[in-house]
Structure 1
């Protein structure tokens, strides 16, 4: 099995029950709809590590994968949506992460001391950090003072903010999400249902970078000097990644992230080669080669670049691989089109 075959199997399953799903949505037969969706949700969780649900309005049909903050699952759901059959994509709005203010968000309710509350019952007090291009926020509801469990209040606040603004904006611009038991006069605030629009205004006004997807958000850092030497993967001087936890675990020789993807029939790996210039030109070469290879592998749907590194001896291009056999075959074919002085090697994490 591969991630590619898992994706194909999921959409085949969806197409078999698509008509009953649409009929249940249109007739507002929600118990029947939940029964149909339950199997798809279980399959999505098993294969991609994400929840799955559908929504409708008077204008459109919408399906949503909700992988949460798990980067591996975000890669998988993005790939799943990219590989969706055209007849599904033409009929449904397909979300590979939780979008802002979905129907699920509008209908979301929490119970505090037997009283039910919706998003418009909550307020957000926020502080802008122009230097780091981030926003810290605290969620407030008058009933919070009745809850003694601080962890529950924080988790509730994070969940509600994520529902309101969506996963992409949550990861791109929020440095902190917490709660407060009383309003703070000195801080800006807005209703939670208006927070997405408020962030959008701030981003445009401050001219912050924008991202289409949470897996487009790169982290750049240097490893501690103590681990740097001339050996493979330990000579890294500059690292750039969309999956920081994978890099942290690989440096500390942990394997939870790798095992999680392997259980879902995929693989994390990296291409490496000897730096030909031993100068700044190596970074430019690595960047251009990464872009070229990513375009080719994405085109045939077998892998995607998720980062890379420049080392003292080697350069690295990191991948999530959806079909290892097909990826290695494509890499072998591409090798023949590259310079004879540049030999690419592949290694799994």
Structure 2
């Protein structure tokens, strides 16, 4: 379970640091697929630390939104299609920069102390908000925007002066030898140090002083216990079994005359709903995300074979055995070049778009084919 005392007091964690302090995942008897595990992978001493939610404790912040019901099914496996940013901001690039899929700032310790370590615990955002988000939107982002755009404004101002007045007056203006007020320079001189100071403050977690003690900005989906952890009306974290949730492909208005689709997970007994993940115009994205979560939660199967999990695969007992039995390269993703990865992502997106998520039993009759034609067989674990 959670080993919060093992988290060192460091402001920054490299990927190697992160892996070194992450304990082996220990499966609770409430984990999905626990009954199918061999005896050597069961940990009967592991218990769920939080009581389940009762219907009366359901937070009013969570409400089922409905939509097209998704079947409980994990047959597509095209999880690379979820990396829609591709090479510019992809999971493969994060690995190359020694980053993880999660923030590596000090506030990660708060999440791990509360919910457990990645990848046994996967933090997913929901529709809640917390003060630090608004602090970023109202204060930090405008300053960063001005710091970025002021050099552009300055360049345009100097170029205009060059064409109107010539070289010497422009240089005099640039070096404050004229009485004219060149505000972009003064603004940049003032805001650039402030921007760097804010970056330092964020890394040291000072902005969290604006947060309450517990912030329901996110929920935790826990492979080790088979639970989704939520913030209830009593302002406490509590757990609901993932197997009691159903997935819905939900259409959400954007407020700009268009619509987007998101995954809505609804707890059938209580009606608790979670709107999670990034939205997309196409219905395949939330459907594939629902499949990904089902695969991730099933401890009888290895972790989905995607770059973000690769450094941690040896810490998950089922995944470790799978990789050993199937001779999976330990650095398959990390040693891959970006062009090959981009091609694989493109092929995965094409295959995901063609997969009949709402009627998966028709995939064979529709002659649907996975990307790679089976070359990446160990991804199907």
Q: Is TM > 0.5 for Structure 1 vs Structure 2?
A: no
Higher relative contact order (CA 8 A, sep 6+): 2
TM range (shorter): under 0.3
Indicate the structure (1 or 2) with the bigger Cα radius of gyration: 2
**TM-score, with length taken from structure 1:** 0.23
Greater strand fraction, Structure 1 or Structure 2: 1
